[in-house]
Amino acid sequence: MSARVSIVTVCYNAAETLERTIQAVLAQTWSDLEYIVIDGGSSDGSVDIIRRYQDRIAFWVSEKDGGISDAFNKGVRHATGKYVSFVNADDWPEPANVAVAVERLEAHPEAAFAYGDLTVHRRGTPVYRYDGAANYMEGFGLSMGRLNHPTMICRRDVFDAIGLFDTSYRIAMDFDWLLRLHKAGFRGLYDRRIQGHMETGGVSVRLMLQALSETRDAALAAGQSHRRVWLHFRIARLKARLRLFGETAISHALVQRMRRHLLGSVTAP
């Protein structure tokens, strides 16, 4: 079985973590790999790191862009593989991820993508894990639910079907794209053997409240109930504010009680 997989890394001034990402991508056990690196015009030494590996990178560029969405889209346009995966400069996959995903997707042509679990690290130390789930649709729509985008490997042709990332989103472009993907009838499959890692402190964490606002806008644009969206994002905003103050244990217990009380009484859209 042979199917080319295009892995896209987007980065900007990410010299501290970029080499770890590149090495993890190049360590994939899947042989037919096309690696694409889109740098936003870094000035911190990132380009020097890319150059050290350029003989194993199919395409790379370092130039000013319009943000993460624009960089993602550049990567997709250059991708020639049957499958595409995004591994950003704060992320790193386990060596067998691509092989496992291709095996599952080749066996299940009805699935648009495969995904797994995501472990979040702080300065290289694991702090918590987001477990994926086969029934991720139960929590999807107002939030990502149990679908971990950094672990996804998807079919290249779904971009032809639903379009690229919306550049009006600076942070929640992946959520918006997945909403459009599911609205078009595509679904994914979960495999716990797919294990991704992410360093905390990325743009979505640093700009948490803006990320929530964009997620809310994407949910509304996808046709979610205004009342459910309003309730959900009031809860999410409170949780984000508590997390920013470091009260993670308190926020988790409080938010779960509020969610059961408020959302439980709202009629589904």
What string of DSSP letters covers 32-59?
SEEEEEEE----SSHHHHHHHTGGG-SE
Residue 224: both structure tokens together: 């979610």
Block mean pLDDT (10 aa), the chain, length 269: 91 95 98 97 97 98 95 98 96 97 97 96 85 86 80 97 94 90 95 94 61 74 70 66 51 51 44
**CA 149, CA 114: separation in Å to the nearest integer?**
10
Task: Please say whether the dihedral angle defined by the alpha carbons of residues 220, 155, 150 and 54, taken in this order, is positive or negative.
Answer: negative
What is the model's pTM?
0.81
Which pLDDT does position 250 carry in this prediction?
A: 46
Which pLDDT does position 206 carry in this prediction?
A: 57
Helices (H), the chain: 15-26, 46-52, 68-78, 97-107, 157-162, 173-183, 203-206, 208-221, 226-244, 248-263
Which pLDDT does position 196 carry in this prediction?
A: 97
Which pLDDT does position 266 carry in this prediction?
A: 43
Which pLDDT does position 137 carry in this prediction?
A: 84
